[in-house]
Amino acid sequence: MKSIFKKYITLCTLAFIAFGCEKDEDKVIVSPGATASLSASQSNIVLSEEDKSKDAVTFSWKAADYGYDAAVKYSLQFGKKGDNFATAKTEEIGNAFSKTYTVSALNNIATEMELPGFAVSEVEVRVTARISDQYAASSSNIITLAITPFLSEPEYPTVFLVGDATENGWDNAKASAMFRDEADPFVYTYTGNFKAGPFKILGYLGKWAPQWGASSTGDLVFRATDSDPDPSSFSIPANGYYTVKLNLRSNTITIDPFEATGDMYASVGIIGPFTNWENIAPMTKSTLNPHIWTTEYTFAEDTEMKFRIAEGWSVNWGADSDATKARTYDKGKRDGPNIAVLAGKYQIYFNDLTGYYLLVKQP
């Protein structure tokens, strides 16, 4: 009896071992650290609106090796250089081994990453591979791209001059607004009287960043945040009239002397149906720049307006371009057609030397 029992135990043990060995043979071993290998068709990419339908870059990678025929899902991640992908933009790709982005699509990614327009930014890209939520995704090598995005519209309704050369010095809450070029919304211009001394350009009133200043060689430098290095100032060489022009497409600035020969007016204002086309709603003249006028005004409904001196219609400025289309900036002309304005509250700027006007919507 004992002999039979021992034989039974032995057979069970052998069967258990055999079953266990068979299961070991069926186990899937996931190789740790399996990675894909990433490459890009180009590394220096300048994006332009004219080419938005064209291909910008193609990313390719070799399959990640997990030690068996796995169903792998890939993602591309785009991160600002030095951010360690902490705030990366992730694009799900599926099981493909390449991805081509058009200029428009890549520019959209750059916009979502809040990269500055018309400026070179370094972007790190990697591909991640995942077989299951139970396993951590593996990452490829990191490649770095130099991407220059474009903008269809500038982020800034206007920008502001601040510094010793300007009317209110370094008070960033009272900086002087620049006008926008009638043909190119990315060009900001200011023609007026300056004091000799330094100045910078701010993106918003009351904030020191974003900001544009000068490099050691006088080139334009963009300071995106307060944590970025503070650039040097530009300089007005002597008291007098100048035109300062900031071009955000080419990232350049010019400072040119200006011969101010225009008439001086005692009072300029806005006029339209909201004043019954009779008397002007007067604007405030700049102390340093007697050709620059400002006011805040709320239009209760869509309307029309002109700029006019207080004394009558002998001197007035209207629209220079399509008068039927409401524009918040333009270069007005003497005796031009009425300027279309949409309802709302605006800070209004006007330069009677150049005819430039600007309406900045207020909250």
Output the CA torsion 199→152→57→223 (10° steps): 20
The structural domain count of the chain equals 3
> What digits encode the pLDDT tens for the residues 328-354?
999 999 999 999 999 999 999 999 999
Task: Supply the pLDDT for residue 308.
Answer: 98
Residue finishing a domain among 224, 257, 290 = 257
Q: What contacts 220, CB < 8 A, 6 or more positions away?
A: 212, 213, 214, 246, 251, 252, 253
Percent of the chain whose pLDDT exceeds 90: 76
> What digits encode the pLDDT tens for the residues 25-34?
444 444 444 5
Regarding whether 252 and 326 lie in a shared domain, the answer is no
Regarding whether 302 and 223 lie in a shared domain, the answer is no
The pLDDT-based confidence of 9 (bands split at 50, 70, 90) is: very low
What single DSSP character describes residue 18? H
pTM of whole model > 0.85?
A: no
Task: Supply the pLDDT for residue 325.
Answer: 74
The tokens describing 18, both together, are: 């055999």
d(CA 161, CA 177): 6
> What digits encode the pLDDT tens for the residues 143-166?
999 999 999 888 899 999 999 999
Average pLDDT over residues 265-284: 97
- Fill in the amino acid letter for 68: Y
Task: Supply the pLDDT for residue 323.
Answer: 62
> What per-residue string of b and e applies to 134-160 under the rule 16 or more CB within 10 Å gives b?
eeebbbbeeeebebbbbbeebebbbbb
Task: Supply the pLDDT for residue 358.
Answer: 97
Residue finishing a domain among 238, 257, 276 = 257
**What is the residue range of 96's domain?**
37-148
Percent of the chain whose pLDDT exceeds 70: 87
Task: Supply the pLDDT for residue 70.
Answer: 62
Regarding whether 170 and 253 lie in a shared domain, the answer is yes
Task: Supply the pLDDT for residue 86.
Answer: 94
Tell me the CA end-to-end span of the chain in Å, nearest whole number: 98
> What digits encode the pLDDT tens for the residues 222-248?
998 999 999 999 999 999 999 999 999
The pLDDT-based confidence of 179 (bands split at 50, 70, 90) is: very high
> What digits encode the pLDDT tens for the residues 77-87?
999 999 999 99
d(CA 89, CA 19): 48
Q: What is the CATH number of the domain that holds 91?
A: 2.60.40.10
Identify whether the C-beta of residue 140 lies closer than 8 Å to the C-beta of residue 61.
yes
> What digits encode the pLDDT tens for the residues 121-143?
999 999 998 887 766 778 899 99
Regarding whether 121 and 54 lie in a shared domain, the answer is yes
The tokens describing 336, both together, are: 């031009």
Regarding whether 340 and 304 lie in a shared domain, the answer is yes
Output the CA torsion 82→150→180→240 (10° steps): 50
If we measure between CA atoms, which residue out of 133, 147, 131, 129 comes closest to residue 38? 129
> Does residue 21 sit within a domain?
no
Residue 105 has pLDDT above 50, yes or no: yes
> Does residue 11 sit within a domain?
no
d(CA 89, CA 157): 27
Query: What rounded mean pLDDT belongs to the chain?
Result: 89
d(CA 29, CA 24): 10
Q: What contacts 33, CB < 8 A, 6 or more positions away?
A: 138
